[in-house]
Structure 1
Amino acid sequence: MRDYKWLNEYCLNRFGSAAALESILPQPSSPEELRAISDDRYLSVLSLRIFRAGLKHSLVDAKWPAFEEVFFGFDPEKVVLMGAERLESLMQDARIIRHLGKLKSVPRNAQFILDVRQEKGSFGALIADWPITDIVGLWKFLAKQGSQLGGLSAPRFLRMVGKDTFIPSDDMVAALKAQKIIDKPPTSQKDRVAVQAAFNQWHAESGRPLCQLSVMLAHTVNH
């Protein structure tokens, strides 16, 4: 495994300057900003991520105002009361994407958010306080407790709300393979722990957020 010094120098050579490199790197939200996001907004983004999976994002985004309307602004206390009959009726609404499995995930995730609120005070508190040194643990928690949050949905949702995370995209997986950290996409907990350890080392060496390290690493793959 290469150290951060190599990663930084590689990216500086590729982009030509520190300013050019910084311009393409994401900036995570602070814990205070994450805590300030309301539960209805977390449910909206969570649902948006689920509906985007496997579909053109612009198509889903264009329909999202209609989703906001039919799901009561994603107020979890209202959404959780939506029964099977109500969800079946939404299958006749041409303004939204009519995928029953994904529609059913919305009230289930509303209940998930309410359960977290009861324990933590808000869903934002859970997201804000989870240590980035175990971000794969948060992926696992979201996938296990939430609905339709397996695969890359949990890390992509976290990136969407601003929580610092790496995302095992195809390029990042190729880069991790090149550095002999993993030999296949990190779907097992063992491989995810190995990737987390590598990112923790780069983070300790650089002070950079995981999301920036993730993008830098992906750019070490030649196209």
Structure 2
Amino acid sequence: MKKFQWLYEHALQHKGESLESLLPSPMSNSALASIDDDFIFSTLTRRVFRAGLKHSLVDSKWPAFEKALYGFSPYKVALMNDDQLENLMQNDQIIRHWGKLKATRLNAVMMLEIAEKHGSCAQWIADWPEDDIVGLWSELKKNGSHLGGNSGAYFLRMIGKDTFVLTDDVVAALKAQGVVDKRPTGKKDLLAVQEAFNEWHAESQRPLCHISRLLSFTVGW
């Protein structure tokens, strides 16, 4: 596995002076903890509906989703019964996907349970250590719905939590670095990826999202 400096220099050769401007900016954990859980729930639901669809299509319908789902109040959505969910299937202003609509209610319940234990879902996410970010992915997948694959990581990226994302380019780079030999899905491979990112972070003091993006720039050219 190459040192961080090699990754950075290789990415710099690829992207030139614009490199730093292409790196995402994570939110501080104190700022993240102050976000309202209604916004967290809205963003989580948006990620669920974006999966497999054009993001612009989903985003264009979001005002209608907000109206149909009580302003994304986790408490109100968690109380929706099956008849209310089925009525949403007649609403042509939203994306009528039965599985994802049911997932929305399940995810509202998950958020309420987290908030009861930790004060808010935002606080729980903010407090989760970045050196075990794959553990947070696992918790979202285990306790939520439609949050497997990269959905959990993309959701975290959307709200500003520092995380890497296993895009095709990042996976290709991890293979090239000898960290994994296939797309990491099992616990052993994900822990190996986490350890690699932790090592690069220790060398550079860069956030995980920077390292992730820089890795993606080391392949495909």
Shift of 1:213: 0.4
1:5 and 2:5 equivalent?
yes
How far does the alpha carbon of each residue in 1:35-64 deviate from its partner, in whole angstroms, 9 at most, with x for none?
111111111001000000000000000001
Shift of 1:76: 0.9
Whether contact under 8 Å (2:169, 2:220) holds in the other structure is no
The alignment covers a number of residue pairs equal to: 221
Give me the whole-angstrom Cα distance separating, in 2, the residues matched to 1:202 and 1:161. 23
Match of 1:109 in 2: 107
How far does the alpha carbon of each residue in 1:9-28 deviate from its partner, in whole angstroms, 9 at most, with x for none?
112222223xx211100010
Shift of 1:77: 1.1
1:27 and 2:53 equivalent?
no
Give me the whole-angstrom Cα distance separating, in 2, the residues matched to 1:47 and 1:15. 33
1:177 and 2:175 equivalent?
yes
1:131 and 2:129 equivalent?
yes
Match of 2:14 in 1: 14
Shift of 1:33: 1.3
2:61 aligned counterpart, secondary structure: helix
Match of 1:145 in 2: 143
Which structure 2 residue ranges, 5 or more long, are not aligned? none
How far does the alpha carbon of each residue in 1:175-198 deviate from its partner, in whole angstroms, 9 at most, with x for none?
001111101111111110000000
Superposed CA RMSD in Å reads 0.7
- Please report the TM-score for the alignment, with normalisation by the length of structure 2: 0.98
**One-letter amino acid of the structure 1 residue matched with residue 115 of structure 2:** R
Shift of 1:122: 0.4
**One-letter amino acid of the structure 2 residue matched with residue 12 of structure 1:** L
Match of 2:210 in 1: 212
**One-letter amino acid of the structure 1 residue matched with residue 218 of structure 2:** T
Shift of 1:107: 1.2
Shift of 1:102: 0.2
Which structure 1 residue ranges, 5 or more long, are not aligned? none
Whether contact under 8 Å (2:12, 2:19) holds in the other structure is yes
Give me the whole-angstrom Cα distance separating, in 1, the residues matched to 2:97 and 2:9. 46
State which of 82, 89, 92 in structure 1 corresponds to 2:90. 92
Q: Percent identity?
A: 56
The 4+ residue runs of structure 1 with deviation greater than 3 A are none
Match of 2:48 in 1: 50
- Please report the TM-score for the alignment, with normalisation by the length of structure 1: 0.97
